[in-house]
A and B are shown apart, each in its own frame.
Chain A
Amino acid sequence: MSVQFNEKQLTEFNRLVARYPEGKQKSALLPVLHLAQESFGGWLSAESMDYVAELLRIEPIEVYEVATFYSMYNLQPVGKYLFEVCQTGPCMLRGSDDIIAYIGEKLNIKPGQTTEDGMFTLKTVECLGACGYAPMMQLGKHYREHLTKEKVDAIIEECRNNAAVNN
């Protein structure tokens, strides 16, 4: 994957930068990193971060220090589908531990690992603000809430189907 925004992504980049005062383009760093992560395979390679630095006219190291601080930036490649399951108190009270264990068993991976086919990554995360709809996980842009084993089965199925259709 070449590290270069396409025209549409560049338009979005320009929209993001335009929100900040003149000379404060660095402020756009967080949203631009999100854009880069989405555009370049779901994670941030050194190459992508250097590209972002170049676009924002800042030093690459300024990008690295920020990218490593925030938990949403993946600095290693992840599977096509990233299951981020919350494990904090309110979700734990509603059985998130069982859900995490179930997903792990089903996909034969531990939290932090990716399935051999590169399809799924399981990641435990801290509170995502869906405590009333626990247990839950983030999948891409959206939340999957009120998780049960059956729902997990369905989600995995759905991902596999989507992947098959897209191929």
Chain B
Amino acid sequence: MAVKLLLENAHVEGIRYYEAYRRTGGYRSVEKALKMTPEAIVEEVKKSGLRGRGGAGFPAGMKWSFIAKPEGVPRHLVCNADESEPGTFKDRYLMEFLPHLLIEGLIVSSFALGSNATYIYIRGEYAWIPDILEHAIDEAKANGWLGKNILGTGFDCEIYVQRGAGAYICGEETALIESLEGKRGNPRIKPPFPAVKGVWDRPTVVNNVETLAAVVPIINMGGDEYAKIGVGRSTGTKLISACGNINKPGVYEIDMTISVEEFIYSDEYCGGIPNGKKLKACIPGGSSVPILPANLLLKTAKGETRYMNYESLSDGGFATGSMMGSGGFIVLDEDQCVVRNTLTLARFYRHESCGQCSPCREGTGWMEKILKNIEYGKGKMSDIDLLWDIQRKIEGNTICPLGDAAAWPVAAAIRHFRDEFEWHVLNPEESQRRNYGLAHYADAREIVAA
């Protein structure tokens, strides 16, 4: 039985509300943490090996230790709930069904960082969730977990929910800060880093929802215990939001020791591919990470089993591997067209580019147009090389990581499915009507739905 730290009580009746949450052991970590020093909490988080769950995987404890503490200047914790990476909907699940878990994590983290006013920046489209969160905040406040002088420790904390308004870029922490200040979501150039000058010029830590929720079990069980779960530097548990052509789309908590194959085919998780179709490809960590054909997804290039963790998913680098990313797991069955899928992603990134720096602003639009032509049978062979050339020059050369996020899916699609692109060019009439099919990408063992 897999370890569950976050979703353990997800199915308890009424867990969305305080009473049931508290009854199942909620807010214990606050009681414990407020007796510790902030430094000791940061130390526990460091020991836990918790890595940022938003996509970049940066060690959370380390990020916390960077926060500047100038005399007399307030500090802020900002919870990044601007979950917008296609394929990712795990934070929504947490906030919608376990709001108190997030609030609990926020209180502990705010105490550790010295934030008396903590903000949850939630994507604007999740329009009904602020009500849920604010209700939970009110309940927590009514029960003394928030507000003035919490548990008599002298620590004051308020949590506010701010809605975004539809901009993927605001998931990038400096763009999020701009947006929180009521401005256009243009990423800032670092340095200065938010830990020194963030929102309103004050030291700021921006963490993902899941990261902050994970602080709760870390405090409850201790950092060392938490680090024992999982494997290598992939400690603890990870929420995976699975979607695409699978029998059981949804949010799963895994302990990062299970294999990709098990995750896709076991009934505990995705439950296999519907209608007996074969697995063609998968984007394992949110739309920006490289797509992998089935053969490279289930086994690494060296022929070893691939596991659902940071290290194993990136085994082989971008040549034959991918990334854990945000945990948005998108499965494509044999009927799916990689060109079309890549086109929708290119369109997404063009739409979400903030328009600040040239490679991303102009490059994403151009890539979308080329992909559209190829998909609709108007492409040329040279277009494939042109696409490759454009994405290569975008990667690594933009102000914020959105450029990379836009370049990688295109690069990986061409890298692994070049013949599918070529087939589109060579069969303009058929490219719309018929799928290129499985070709040689499927797993050699011909795995089919159970």
Contacts and interface: CB of A to CB of B under 8 A. Distances in A.
Report if A and B touch in the complex (beta carbons < 8 A).
Answer: yes
A30 B160 contact: no
Contact of B241 (A73, A132, A138): A132
Nearest to B241: A132
Contact of A126 (B87, B340, B352): B352
B182 A129 contact: no
A70 B330 contact: no
Contacts of A8: none
A21 B119 CA distance: 12
B165 A88 contact: no
Given A34-B163, A131-B328, A88 B345 contact: yes
Given A26-B182, A132-B242, A141 B128 contact: yes
A30 B352 contact: no
Given A34-B124, A70-B165, A126-B168, A93 B332 contact: yes
A33 interface: yes
A139 B127 CA distance: 10
Contacts of A56: 182
Interface residues of B, number: 57
A70 B164 contact: yes
B398 interface: no
Contacts of A28: 182
Interface stretch (B25-33, B61-69, B243-251, B292-300): B243-251
B244 A129 contact: no
A27 B244 contact: no
A2 B125 CA distance: 27
A29 to B, nearest CB: 3
Q: What is the interface residue range for chain A against chain B?
A: 35 or more
Contacts of B83: 129
B330 A30 contact: no
A140 to B, nearest CB: 8
A129 B92 contact: yes
B180 interface: yes
A21 B73 CA distance: 12
Interface of B: 74, 83-89, 92, 117, 119, 123-128, 158, 160, 162-168, 179-185, 200, 241-245, 249-251, 283, 287, 328, 330, 332, 336, 340-341, 344-345, 347-348, 351-352, 354
22 contacts: A19-B160, A26-B181, A27-B162, A27-B200, A31-B162, A33-B165, A69-B185, A71-B165, A71-B166, A72-B125, A88-B86, A88-B344, A89-B87, A89-B341, A92-B340, A92-B344, A93-B243, A93-B336, A94-B243, A132-B249, A132-B250, A138-B127
